[in-house]
Each structure stands twice: as structure tokens, then as C-alpha cells.
Chains A and B, each alone.
Chain A
């Protein structure tokens, strides 16, 4: 256990309760949110904090997720510290507003509790909702468990409001698996969170009636492109800020987070890449196969946007073969979004492993250790010299 600068308290609560607690400790000026399974318990818990006077937040119970993000945009432009939370169809309904929030450079922090997109309608976990929003100009931080969801919430606020970033941040954790299961994790005291996130001092706000500014103007071809470039530069720059803020948080709590987590990857020949809660199962399988003498390790992406391509390519360069597991399918593409990103990241490297793509667990289909073991055995063949198939995506755990 690393030495920590503050006393932490260990609690047992659901991932959603942890997220609501982090929101309470941040004590944002405005929360505008709409209930949706499996996020609902966050808005309920937060409503209790409001009802009991434990936060100073203006809590806007909007009539849809579109209005949730619209109100967040208005509130953030007005200079408030703003948070919200959603899932799946709610995130889809916000789609139009997501890219307006990032283009207006508004540091809104949002939990998206991962749930499969309709149809057919399904309330269980996969990442199709978050992945559908991956090009919206938001920073995306994935969490494996309740501890990470809690920690990422506090880190996200600092990242979003950092003057080199000023972008919205989406924190992802897995529906039901993380959101509803009771987990044991460590929390900070209210004062520590308050001092870590500090006070938000916006540069320009709508409430400055003495120096009026226009937000959201109409940009013709002569101006639009440069604004989109500015957005790319800012999002790319968020990577360094995520590293910096996570390091500072690690010094405070002893919990160190990077752009991704490497688990027994140093001396590995085979690698598995998976994000979210399944990484926990994958670690168990890695341990089990290590005992059998299989040199396998795990890379768990944490920051998905901006995608740390060069860092991931370097971390994988010594491997013979890598399996990328996606809990969403990019239908019609080469494979799932993580697979496509990883494969593209490796293409220009001279030293690179063979890469195989797997889709798993759509709509909450259980993904057990056996499936992950099958995947590792699959890439073992490729590492052993067998030619990798060109159509490389495999849907695992699906009934034929």
C-alpha cells in the first residue's frame, strides 16, 4: 500500500452511490439531470443530498436528457460548475448537445453509466452508448470498478476546468456490474475533495452584464474550420492534464492512475486489451494462465478520448500478439472501436504485434473467465506463427 497524504475512509456502497457521493463532495453549482436505468440511483441519491441541505446545488429536474444537456450548457456558459449523469438512450438523445458543449468549451462533468443502445431495448451493460459519443469532443475516462468511478469523478472536475483543457468530461462505468453491485472502496473526506477540486473561476460568463459577450454564434465556412481545429488541439492537450491531475491525486490518495493500466505486461508475449469491469475478470484469467506458464498480460485503457495512440503502441511493441476485446460493435467497420483504434495506432510502428479483434458481452451478456481464456488461446496460435485471418473480428459468447 502506497503512502497517502490524507486519511481515507473505507466504505461499502454501490458504484452509483460512490458517484453520487463524489458529486456531493464536489458540491457543484448546477446539476440538471433526467433519470434513466441504470443511472437512476445517482439522480436519486443526489436528490437526497439536495433534500437534506447537504449541497448548495441548484438541482434542475428537466423533462428530458436533451434538456438536461441544454440546461447544463446554459449554466456552464453562465459560469457555474456543472455536472450531470445519464445512460444509453439518454446519451443518444443528448447527441446534438454533446458536440455543442465541447465546441463552446464548457467544462461539464457527466457520468454515463454504460448501457446498450436500443434496439432491441435492453437495460444492461455494453459500451455502445459511450462509443457512439466518442467523436463528440469530450474527454472520456473509463472506470473498472466503484473505486475508479469515484476517483475519476473528482479527477474529471479538475481536468475539465483546467485552463489548457476547458472541455466536457464523460466518466464511464459499467451498468449494473459497477453501478448496482456493492463494492468496497476508499473515499476522501469532504474537505479534501473540496480543496482538491478548488474553486472554479471562469474566464468569461453570460452573467457578466457589464461586458456582454455572444455565445454560440453562427460560423460560416470562413471561420468554422479553425474553431474545429482549436477543439482538436484542446482535446489532444487534455492527455497531459489527465496525467498531471491523476498524479497529484495519486500523491494525495496513494491510488495512481495513468492513461492506461498495465497488468503483468512487462515480460508478456501475449496481451489482452479490455476496458471497464471486464478488465477485473481478465486480471484473474491472466493470473490463472500465468500459473500454467502462459506469458500473458493486460492493458486496460482508462483514457479513451483523447486516445493515447503513441503510448499504447509503445506499451505493446514487445508483444507477439494482442487480443482487443470490445463491448460494442462498430457495425460495418473492421471491428469494435477499441480494436480499430489500437490497430491503427500500431500501423506506423516498426515493432508491432499481430492484433486480433473480439466483440463480447453485448446487451449485458455475461463474460466469464472461460471466454477470455479462449481468446488468449486463440492469439497464442497467431503468436506461434499461424497466419492471422484478414477478417479478424470474432463475436464471442454469441449463440449460433
Chain B
């Protein structure tokens, strides 16, 4: 992998001037992923914050060819672009080595776009899919998704007198995609940039489909300060809420192995979306949440062969 000095000399492929919020994790995720590409890239995005804020006609923040089609089909769209590339390359109409990447938020990936993603992974296109997971439909104003954590308050899973935020656990998308037996699937966080860029580099290099699920906090939805994005992402990793791991040709590797996980409340407490969990009467919810994290962590360690 390139050194930070070398990376600093690489051109920024998503320019400044886009309309994403200050402190938005999505643009950081995109820039880090694109730093992992060592050949020209064609990118696509599902409808969402990233797409809306980066392409307000007649402007674009993308310095690479970019396509937005609709919400649920970023994977299918890029799979079509890749198919065209294969056909035109075979006919000798194009000779460049080009890589393809589709971005989607958690709504466009875990929920409405899951079928499209699963199909593209199963068909074996030579493409990378990157989910920037901020745990809710942030573009439309913080509605719960299949990626919203247990207990989090959103505008469609609010905390009330009889409900303590979202009653269900989040879906484990990374493992679902790993179960497609693709050459590369990984989970990463923008707080661990070196790990993420390395994973992006691997994803772009493998022959066949690759998937990276990137934790990309949303200060608006998580109710944290604009300057706390990286810090809160780091706590997600350190508490085991968001383990960093990769699955290479079926080999599971845990990339971040702390001696001991920090207590989950260290991640939850700074966030307004979990504020209600710290009110008297919700102790059990916090306990349940910690229990889930511990259980998932132990299962993951087992899969990764870590004692």
C-alpha cells in the first residue's frame, strides 16, 4: 500500500464544493475508497445524500465518469456498465484497464437495493460495491433502515412512552454478502483510514465482485457534533459495535483485535439518538444491546479463528 505521503499526492477524485453536510462520513468514505484505485475508475451511486449532494445539475463533484440511475439499482447499473466494458474490450473498441465501483447508502443497500446487489454479486461482475452505512435513511430525514442499530431513535422509530427506539437488531449485511462466496468482502470504518484504503485496494485488485461495508457516521442522524465524526466511528470499532474484518476467498480475518472491548455505552452515550436509553427504566435495553454485541463478537472471533 502507498504511504500517506504518496497518498497525499494522489488527486482527489471527489472534489470539494459538493453539498454534503460538514462532518459527513459519506464523502470521507468515497475519497478513501477512490484512493485505493490504481487504475481509472467509473463510479455509480444509488439515490441518496451522496448522489443528490454531489451532482446538482449543472454541477458535478465527480472527477471520474459517474452514473446515477435510481435508488435500488446502483449494483445492477454498474453491472451493466461492466458488461458493456467486457463486450467492447473483447471487440477491441477499448484497450484501457478500467475498474468499476458502485456506492450506496444503507437504505439503498441493506433494504431496497439488496436484491440488485445480491444479483450482481452472484453473476460475478468484476466490480466493487461500497455501502456507506450511516444507519438510517438520512437523505429523507433520519428514517429507520435495516441497518439502524437496536435502540436507536429515528423519525420512524422514535423513542416514546412505550418504545425505546428501534426494537429490532440490525441486519448483518457484510456476512450476507460474504455468503455469496465472492472473492472479497470486508467491513471497514472511515476512522481506520489505512485499513479502509488497503481494503479498497484489494477490492479493486481481485478478479470478480468485491464488497466493502464502510461505517460512515452522519452527525445529523446520530446527533453528534460535526467535528466528532471520526471519533465516534473509532468508538464503534473499539466497542465491537463495528468490527473490522475481511473475507478473502473464504478466509476470515479479524483486522482489529483489542485486548478488551470498550463498554458499548462509550459508543452510545455521546450520541443523541441513544439518549433515551440512559433514562431510568431502560437499563434492560442497554443490557440487551451489550449482550448482542458480545455474542456477535464471539461468533465473529470464532469465524476468524481468534481465541
Contacts and interface: CB of A to CB of B under 8 A. Distances in A.
Given A58-B86, A60-B80, A79-B84, A66 B73 contact: yes
Interface in B46-99: 51-52, 55-58, 60, 62-70, 72-73, 76-88, 90-91, 94, 96, 98
A80 B84 contact: yes
B119 interface: yes
A227 to B, nearest CB: 8
A63 interface: yes
B207 interface: no
A207 B83 contact: no
A66 B88 CA distance: 24
A66 B84 CA distance: 18
Interface residues of A, number: 43
A67 interface: yes
A206 B83 contact: no
Contact of B78 (A30, A72, A74, A76): A74
Nearest to B91: A56
A209 interface: yes
A278 interface: no
Contact of B94 (A62, A70, A207, A214): A207
Contacts of A64: 115-116, 119
A212 B62 contact: yes
A294 B84 CA distance: 56
A78 interface: yes
B164 to A, nearest CB: 36
Given A60-B79, A206-B81, 13 more contacts: A30-B83, A30-B84, A56-B91, A58-B83, A60-B83, A60-B123, A66-B116, A67-B119, A76-B84, A80-B88, A205-B65, A212-B64, A214-B65
A361 to B, nearest CB: 34
B250 interface: no
A97 B76 CA distance: 12
Contacts of A274: none
A89 to B, nearest CB: 16
Interface string A101-141: 00000000000000000000000000000000000000000
Contacts of B80: 30, 32, 60, 70-76, 78, 82
Nearest to A63: B119
A296 B96 CA distance: 62
Interface of B: 40-42, 44, 51-52, 55-58, 60, 62-70, 72-73, 76-88, 90-91, 94, 96, 98, 115-116, 118-120, 122-123
Contacts of A100: 69-70
A223 B55 CA distance: 13
A213 interface: yes
Contact of A214 (B66, B70, B91): B66
Interface in A189-232: 205-209, 212-220, 223
B42 A220 contact: no
Given A97-B73, A209-B42, A74 B84 contact: yes
Contacts of B91: 29, 56
11 contacts: A57-B87, A60-B83, A67-B119, A70-B76, A71-B76, A73-B69, A79-B88, A205-B65, A214-B66, A217-B60, A219-B57
Nearest to B120: A67
A220 B19 CA distance: 14
Nearest to B79: A71
Contacts of A215: 65-68
A70 B116 contact: yes
Nearest to B13: A212
A20 B84 CA distance: 20
A214 B62 contact: yes
A61 interface: yes
Nearest to B45: A216
B77 A207 contact: no
**Cβ-closest 4 pairs across A and B:** A74-B80, A71-B80, A63-B119, A78-B84
Contacts of A366: none
Contacts of A216: 55, 67-69
Contacts of B44: 74
A160 interface: no
Contact of A213 (B56, B65, B76, B84): B65
Contact of B70 (A30, A60, A62, A70): A70
A209 B65 contact: yes
A148 B192 CA distance: 61
A346 interface: no
Nearest to B96: A209
A100 B69 CA distance: 7
A323 to B, nearest CB: 41
A199 to B, nearest CB: 10
B115 A67 contact: yes
A76 B88 CA distance: 12
Nearest to B86: A58
A206 B88 contact: no
B57 A75 contact: no
A76 B90 CA distance: 16
Interface string A79-102: 110100000000000001100100
Nearest to A209: B40
A167 interface: no
B77 A206 contact: no
A60 B55 CA distance: 29
B69 A74 contact: yes
A70 B122 contact: no
Contact of B56 (A60, A205, A217): A217
A254 to B, nearest CB: 32
Given A30-B87, A57-B87, A80-B87, A217 B55 contact: yes
A80 B65 CA distance: 15
